[in-house]
Structure 1
Amino acid sequence: MAKKTETTVEEKLRALYDLQLIDSRIDEIRNVRGELPLEVEDLEDEVAGMNTRLEKLNTDLEVIENNIKEKKNGIEESKALIKKYTAQQDNVRNNREYNSLSKEIEFQELEIQLADKHINEFKAQIEQKKEVIEQTKEQLEERKEHLKHKQSELDDILAETEKEEKALIKESEKYEKKIEERLVKAYKRIRNSVKNGLAVVQVERGASGGSFFTIPPQVQMEIASRKKIITDEHSGRILVDPALADEEKEKMDKLFTKVS
């Protein structure tokens, strides 16, 4: 049985830097989309909220209109009772019965007045609700148009980049498998803790990429020897020498051309 060849430090560094280049390319693609997906999501929520509000306003309107119908029916009932009591007054036997019927008539007249007052209040509420409904409809149309525009923008960007992004995600997963789990975890931890997502950087002009802290010449020589994995003492990033970085960039550029 053939003995499994152990991965050299140089091979690990190359694989890590390749992974970084792939993940950085994915970051670039996602940056092109920027805040658009969130904007679209917010607009969708806003449109959904406005539709719910319109439904509630229309339900409120129905309730108020039903209240008016009830009050109108109540008025008709009161009028019928007034007619009945007035007719009964013609056949009373004494003043007590007459006064009792007069009180009933007076009560029904007050009921009619109160119902009319409520109907007028309900009508005012209807006008107010209708005004709010019209305003909400106008706002809804405006937000829908804005959403349509933003969704179209997002669809265009996705059409251009989705295929490449999916292909690169697969490549990223493939390259991860080439690296031992311990290093992948360290890489991801560093990547998540830095602003630009760069966990593996090359030495540039005697400093860690994107940093102003100079790396001592002795350490630069160790990095160039590719005998051990060295991290920047200030940022914690994994460091690679410029020659290795250039070679891997050239290799990855060919991959990016292929998947784009």
Structure 2
Amino acid sequence: MTDQDETDGPAPPRRRSFLARRTGTDDFGIVLTLLVTAYIAYALSAALWVEILVFVLYLFTLGLAVRTSRPMPRQKRFVRVVLVVSAVVSAVALLTLPRAAADGVLDGVVCVILMTALVVILDRILRRTAVTVQSLAGALSAYLIIGMFFASLFGVMDAVTPGPFFASGEAANPRSFQYFSYTTLTTLGYGDYTAALFPGRSIATFEALVGQVFLAVLVARLVAAFHGRAEAILPERSDD
């Protein structure tokens, strides 16, 4: 036996990253926690540092959504590109553009991040055949993401259209957009905020439709999965 043979052996196990050690398949609880934290942050303040904090939370949300959903390698590569490009574009915008223009760019980037995360999460949830606490957390995460996506979309529209976004003439900020988005998504319709222009009104109406369709489809999917699971268990018990 040569010295080379003596030194050769099984390769040492690769050390997993911090995220890999803390998250597993379908571990959507952490994703939901990040989204709730972002929601609370915007509810408390609309300062620039809060916008940056929420943006970082969105980046982590997308990264964790991909890790816990276990998508195809091609999807993983696409998400990596989205994360890198989003970080670079946002940093350049914050450093070189006026505050209003930078907010518009940041909202546009957030739209891309949230839409990507939404597709990844829904793809995993709809492929599951069992209803678990984690799948419910994933469904809640998707619902929150829809509201956050439209809030950012309203921010983009405010940046590119002349005049105030709201009919009251009040200056808009991330907090007011988040409030307006979720009252629209849940069809509460308080009426204290209304889009001034028809493009904004059309998007708000579309968001309300998306919210209702999402809930109807999601509930039907979860009930079907639960019913299928129950039918699979009952024959096993009858055989016993």
Q: TM-score, normalised by structure 1?
A: 0.24
Structure (1 or 2) with the greater strand fraction: 1
> Highest Rg: 1 or 2?
1
With a CA cutoff of 8 Å and minimum separation of 6, indicate the structure with the bigger relative contact order: 1
Q: TM-score, normalised by structure 2?
A: 0.26
